Amino acid sequence: MAKQKGIKITVHGRYYYKTESAKGTKPYELVVRSPSLEMYRETSQKYIGTDDKGNSKYKTNNYLNIRGQLKKRLLPILLGRKFTDFARVRYVVIDEVVSETGDKLDLPINLRSKKQLELMIRDEKIPIDVSEYLEIDELRSDIVQFIQEPEAFLKQKPLKDKRRQEERMFLEMNDMGDESLPPVRPVKAKPDVGGILDD
């Protein structure tokens, strides 16, 4: 019997393992198939105030949360079946989302594959060299930043390029081969709010 065609999602990441004598993290790569992207759609509501009669008003957002659905609901089942030492998912990186039926998917930047991003960079003349990036999520976030804030991106680009080069050298110096480092979490600036001791 032929497999039903739908959406193919290629992912990698690390999972926590636990045995009687050891625990830690291990890498994984997996292909997940789904009938459509709709099973990953989530809805959230945000409170926006009250109307004239005092009734609460909410704004409803619909969005695809493939990474969240995979990490919380689906990968624990799939990885648990594949690895006997599986404890829980540490992180998920979506490498590619493609239609097995040949339908063109209109994906947001954070779900596009490296090949899809290369075409976008070429077509829109974005000053980014894909080969410099070790992780696809960093490439995706830099493209989004360039689209939203081109001046800020160009100002930060030399520092990011230097960090990526140092990470590449770190991997080589420590014989880490094809391994990858955990993603760098951006540091959010805290608002300067005065305290009771401030003048």
Return d(Cα 139, Cα 110) in angstroms, integer.
9
Measured distance between the N- and C-terminal CA atoms of the chain, rounded to whole angstroms:
76
Q: How far is CA 147 from the centre of its chain?
A: 18
What phi and psi values does residue 131 have, to the nearest 5 degrees? -65, -15
If you search the block for the tokens 């005092």, which residue do you land on? 54
Tens of pLDDT, residues 54-85: 889 889 988 889 999 999 999 999 999 999 99
The per-type count for the chain, helices as H runs and strands as E runs, is 5, 5
pLDDT tens per residue, range 88-131? 999 999 999 998 888 888 888 988 888 889 989 999 999 998 88
